[in-house]
Structures are given as C-alpha cells and as structure tokens.
Structure 1
Amino acid sequence: MPDHPTLLQTYVWQDMDMAPRFPVLHRFLDFWQRELEGKLNRVRIAHAGIVGPSGSRFVDLQVALH
C-alpha cells in the first residue's frame, strides 16, 4: 500500500520452482521491483525437495455416527 509506507504487510506466494536457482522466484521478484510501488522488507524461502506421494497408511478403525 503506497499510501501507508510504514505499514508492513505479509504476502504469501507459492509456486513450483527449481532449487537451488529458483528461476520462477527471481522472475517474480524482478516483476515486483519493476512494476509495484511497495518495497520488499524480507523474502523467506521454504524448500521441500521433490514432490511425491505422501506417506499415508491405513488404520484399522470403525467409527459409528448417530
């Protein structure tokens, strides 16, 4: 919000990218600096390796509702 430069907002962005260079993130940050008036205070990156099937398991349980 350019009208309120002292207000710090949180922006969460999630996308598939290739570590360790993160080309999609760099394109987004370049766009932000080039096109938007709000300044970036901090950028934090979370990385979770290769996306695959989750570790699910079957549980032997019966539940009766009503």
Structure 2
Amino acid sequence: MADRGFIAQLQGYGLTTAEIHYYRPDAPSLLQIFVWQEYDLAPDFPVLFDFMDYWRREIEAAVHSVRIAHETLIRPAEWRAVNGVISVQ
C-alpha cells in the first residue's frame, strides 16, 4: 500500500506548513504559536482554509497572523543519475 502523502504528491499536492500566531482569552498579553502541516494545493490552500474555519468555530483563541510555506516535493529536477558507490562501514 502506498503512503497517503506520496499519493497526494502525485495528485499535485505539496507539503504546506502554517505557523499560526494566536492569543488565548485567559492570557491576552501572551502571543502563542501553533504549527500545522499537511498536504495542500497552492495557491488556494483549501485544506488550510478548512482547518482555519474549524479553528474559528471550535477553538477559543484569536488568530493574530498566519505564515505559510509550501513546497512541491516531487519534481524532475530532484532526480539525477549518480555514477558511483558509497560504502558505509
């Protein structure tokens, strides 16, 4: 059975990381960070926006800002022939 992440990459998804900065109601002067990572489609990010909708509905925290990084991991430039053998002892 193939890995779910590998199949997602073959379908055009890339690894998306979101750094969510937020405030809790019980500590409004403390800025906290939550890191979320999932395979998503850039530039629309439907999976991330679904998660952010869930956050707004279910989590008692005010979002301050969100930083997004996205990388498509499979591409032709990553594969090249190597002529040699590396032995590890």
1:42-57 superposed matches below 5 A: 42-49=65-72, 51-52=73-74
Q: TM-score, normalised by structure 1?
A: 0.73
Larger strand share, 1 or 2? 2
Q: Do residues 35 (structure 1) and 34 (structure 2) align?
A: no
Moved beyond 4 Å, runs of 4+: 53-63
* Identical columns (%): 45
Higher-Rg structure is: 1
In structure 1, list runs of 5 or more residues that go unmatched. none
Larger helix share, 1 or 2? 2
In structure 2, list runs of 5 or more residues that go unmatched. 1-23
Q: Do residues 3 (structure 1) and 29 (structure 2) align?
A: no
Structure 1: distance between partners of 2:71 and 2:85: 26
What does the per-residue CA deviation read over 1:2-52, in whole Å, with 9 as the maximum and x for residues that have no partner?
Answer: 311111001111100011111000000000011111111100110112x22
Question: What RMSD over aligned residues (CA atoms) do the two structures have, in Å?
Answer: 2.5
